[in-house]
Structure 1
Amino acid sequence: MEIFGDMGELAAEKHVEYILSVEKKKDSFESVVMEHLRMNGAYWGLTTLDLLGKLHAVDVDQIVSWIIKCQHDSGGFGGNIGHDPHVLYTLSAVQVLALFDKLDVLDIEKVSTYVAGLQNEDGSFSGDMWGEIDTRFSYIAICCLSLLHRLDKINVENAVSYIVSCKNLDGGFGCMPGGESHAGQIFCCVGALAITGALHHIDKDLLGWWLCERQVKSGGLNGRPEKLPDVCYSWWVLSSLIMIDRVHWINKEKLVKYILDCQDLDNGGISDRPDDAVDVYHTYFGVAGLSLLEYTGLKAIDPAYALPVDVVNRIFIGRQSKKES
């Protein structure tokens, strides 16, 4: 897309080097603070590499064997070896295995039974055995079970009703009924409704207006009114706008420029705001945001599943074509 020609460029090679280096620096501050959520870090880093066309730079067998060691007898996955299972890390494990086309290493029945077991009577989901409830967990469970072709293991109607009960007068969604609208929660609720074919519950114009109001002067997006912009909302806001078909309501060129301004051009990586320290989380969401914006040279990403479109197609279309042949 030529419109992005004069905005500076994505330092793709530097970002690849940065992601590969994070994994090697076991004693770095970033490694230590991420130790308990390494499974999420693996998903962010590896999906970024795939979007950049560089997934072949990693040792697949090594990563797959580490993922399997993070699984518990319950079927759920921990954030690292020896850490408690949680639906958050379980989805990341499934997503990483999907990237590598290795879902067949899983006992799918066991994993899906763990996730389905976290649904409560009102349709909501707990994150783990301790029972915290949040619409994030509704999305995570629905996304995970859908990728495993096991949505029939939960009460989808109740799950949708619970999410709809978290809808606010401004068109947005909160983490529970009555919770403040927040772009991250909106993504979770819109994504879950998209996957379950229930987007008709959303007032698309009202929500689209709330979301496009998140763009600030610099071109970046914030998560709530009066907050600073942050690269991660390039994903949360943009993917939601795409799913409800209102992405043309924001200035895409200014958002591209904002994301590119948050790059560390010397050492790679992307930060939340220009000149801040980079991390894997914002590197992923920056690249994923650029992918949604159809930035040249990046693979397309699916706004609901947060995986490259070719991976999602392999899971949902590939299986059918195998059955037909």
Structure 2
Amino acid sequence: MSDEATTDEEKGIFGGLFVNKHVEYIKSLDKRHDEIEYWMTEHLRISGIYWGLVALHLLGRENELDRDKIIKYVKSCQNTDGGFGGHTGHDSHLLYTMSAIQILVMYNVLDQINGDKIIAFVKSLQDESGEVSGDCWGEKDTRFAFISVAILSFFHAVDQFNMDGVIEYVRRSMNYDGGFGSQPGGESHSAQVYTCLAALAIAGRLDIVDRDRLSGWLAERQLKSGGLNGRPQKLEDACYSWWVLSSLKILGRVHWVDRQRLCAFILSAQDTEDGGIADRPGDIADVYHTCFGICGLSLAGFDKYPLDEIDPVYCMPVRIAERAGLRSWMNNVPKTWK
């Protein structure tokens, strides 16, 4: 049969979404040993696997990767302090520990690692005030406040943490525009908004948030192209399809952005020849933007292909979050937001 006679669906193209191309792109990432980018991003290896696996799950193609090989590799990245590095032999960091746990949860093998050691590692990074560092070197950020709480919630150990300190740190990072920064006094940024909202959702303290003001600030992140930016006066970027929409989902205000125009922007950032999604049209695709672009399509209700529903707090498919007992955060959302 000629290409002309082949339908879009037979090519794996659904409503402009190049499903088969994206699957093949993700599968190829661990085979590019002749490219400098492969070696320059060694420290991101475990997060790269997480991003790729989330995208494949949303596309309904999670079995395309070698499950046993990935599980073995992830376990090899755990250090004696209980945390995980971005690659075997790398220092532990909360970012990579979170990615490792998410991978193991998606494969339903979290019980294969020592949870007590991970809990101890996370607790060791919180100081007396309740603020949390990403690693032993002491950098503090609202990202780490969220990640620490999220990791502990996987093991039902949030009550072992100084949650009052975390909540106060997040509250002090809230700005006059309703947004949140990376720390008290930091500029509001969409990614930090997500981390703070997600932390408050798990903690049951969304009452701190100015819902209307924050929803308005997030809705203003949509530009004429349909894409979203991270803060005022910046370019649109496909990854903010996740950071902005996940926050609006928690707030119950996804409908405050034009979702059709956003989907069109994400689709325009695809590499239609080699697969993957870039930050914006014409740029080079990468697995990070591929993951969060597809997450954005899921949150926006893209209906040309049966994408799995994504949980806006844990950035994993809803069905997996439910299996892991992680959807209790929804009970903490004020009734008037639903």
Question: Where on the TM-score scale, by shorter chain, does this alignment land: which range?
Answer: over 0.9
- Provide the C-alpha distance between the structure 2 equivalents of 1:231 and 1:256, rounded to a whole number of angstroms: 10
Q: Which of 321, 329, 334 is 1:312 aligned to? A: 321
Instruction: Describe the SS at the equivalent of 2:17.
Output: coil
Shift of 1:31: 1.4
Q: Following the alignment from structure 2 to structure 1, what is the Cα–Cα distance between the partners of residues 197 and 88?
A: 32
Q: Is the 8 A contact 2:153 2:326 kept in 1?
A: no
What CA distance in whole angstroms lies between the structure 1 residues aligned with 2:260 and 2:326? 33
Matched, 1:242 2:249: yes
Instruction: Quote the offset at 1:317 in angstroms.
Output: 7.1
* CA contact 1:126–1:137 (8 Å) conserved in 2: yes
Q: 2: distance between equivalents of 1:184 and 1:22?
A: 25
Secondary structure of 1:169 counterpart:
coil
Structure 1 stretches of at least 4 aligned residues deviating more than 4 Å after TM superposition: none
The match for 2:312 is 303
Residue matched to 1:323:
none
Equivalent position to 1:269, from 256, 273, 276? 276
Match of 1:153 among 160, 166, 178: 160
Choose the corresponding residue for 2:259, options 239, 252, 264. 252
* TM-score, normalised relative to structure 2: 0.90
When residues 317 and 154 of structure 1 are mapped into structure 2, their CA distance, relative to the original with a 3 A threshold, is: closer
2:205 and 2:126 mapped to 1: Cα distance? 18
Q: Determine the structure 1 residue equivalent to 2:106.
A: 99
| 8 Å contact kept, 1:113–1:153 | no
Query: What does residue 235 of structure 2 align with?
Result: 228
Q: How far is the alpha carbon of 1:145 from its aligned partner?
A: 1.1
CA distance in 2, matches of 1:258, 1:162: 35
Superposition pairs for residues 47-126 of structure 1, below 5 Å? 47-126=54-133
Is residue 23 of structure 1 aligned with residue 21 of structure 2?
A: no
Give the corresponding residue for 2:330: none
Structure-1-length-normalised TM-score? 0.94
The Cα shift of 1:112 comes to 1.1
* Identity score, percent: 50
Q: 2-side partners of 1:291 and 1:10: how far apart? A: 12
Whole-Å separation in 1 of the counterparts to 2:27 and 2:49: 11
In terms of mean alpha carbon deviation, does 176-185 or 114-123 score higher?
114-123
Residues matched between the structures, number: 313
Q: CA deviation at 1:195?
A: 1.4
CA deviation profile, 1:189-227 (whole Å, cap 9, x unmatched): 011111111111000000001100000000000001010
Distance 1:42 1:59 in 2: 11
- Mapped to 1, the partners of 2:35 and 2:153 lie a distance apart of 36
Let me know the Cα RMSD of the aligned residues: 1.5
Report deviation, 1:8.
4.3
